[in-house]
Amino acid sequence: MTVWAYAWPRDVVRIAGVDTEKYLQGQLSQDVSFPVGERRFSLVLEPQGKIDAWFRLHRLTETEYLADLDAGSADALIARLERFKLRSDVTITPEPAWRCLAIRGGEAAAVAATIDGELKAPLVGPWPGFEGVDVLGPGVEAPRDLEIVDEAAFEHARIAAGFPAMGSELTADVIPAATGVVDVSASFTKGCYTGQELVARVESRGSNTPTKLHRLTVADGVAVGASVTQAGAEVGTITSAARNAALAYLKRSVDAEAPIEVAGQPATLVGLAGQP
């Protein structure tokens, strides 16, 4: 397929008000002082450094941003941002009418240019090996001649790219440095934010976490929760799987050059999530 698309379920949250930049700068892992019209990935963390949400932040104006994130995650993001807002002049509201059309393939930019949408986000960072554009806006519609794939096909692409999902790879039990997204989602120069201490401490130690998220090729039909083993010892657990692609958090002790198995079947380590 030269180019294809998927109606990717995404939640969208609008964050606006005269104090928005200052407030978000103290709450998000990303430096939010980037130019209007650009976008960055960011984490929002608990004070202890655990993950509440991971999202793409778009700057619309000097005082207004949009966040798009996995479907079903907006309530957690809104609740977390509201908790520390106090008297800041910031409003945080969901945008239920917004949709995301994920276009993938070498002609994605040309196709995206023909679609009406408020935001068009070229892929960066966590989609290594994939070209594409995500088109977001109220009621975004795909052209009739564009091939639309189903959820299973998109999940295979997501997993093969090592793009983590809330509830699967990103949970309150995972520290950011294990996920593979810190490099594109956190600033180490902007100053303090909630949850920074754990992120900075792990970074200062070379991001040497007990586990890290890896991409694997596996036998078709491997289930989420299946054990990853090496030399008879369990070294991890599958968090997402589709066809021959899987993601798993593997122990630091895993030998990348030695054979591994998933549910008793041979598997291959492809690399860390978020990296080519």
Which pLDDT value is given to residue 151?
A: 97
When pLDDT is averaged across residues 140-158 and rounded to a whole number, the result is: 96
Domains, the chain, in order of start with CATH, read 3-161 (3.30.1360.120)
Full-model pTM: 0.95
pLDDT band of residue 149 (cuts 50, 70, 90) is very high
Kindly state the percentage of the chain with pLDDT values over 70.
Answer: 100
Least confident of 13-17, 21-25, 141-145: 141-145
Mean pLDDT, the chain, whole residue set: 95
Q: What is the DSSP string of the chain?
A: --EEEEE--EEEEEEESTTHHHHHHTTBSS---PPTT-EEEEEEE-TTS-EEEEEEEEEEETTEEEEEEETT-HHHHHHHHHHTTTT-S-EEEE-TTEEEEEEEETTHHHHHTTS--SEEEE--SS-TT--EEEEEEET----TTS-B--HHHHHHHHHHHT---BTTTB-TTS-GGGTT-HHHH--SSS---TTHHHHHHHHHTTS--SEEEEEEE--TTPPTTPEEEETTEEEEEEEEEETTEEEEEEETT--TTS-EEETTEEEEEEEETT--
Q: How sure is the predictor about 1, in pLDDT bands with cuts at 50, 70 and 90?
A: low
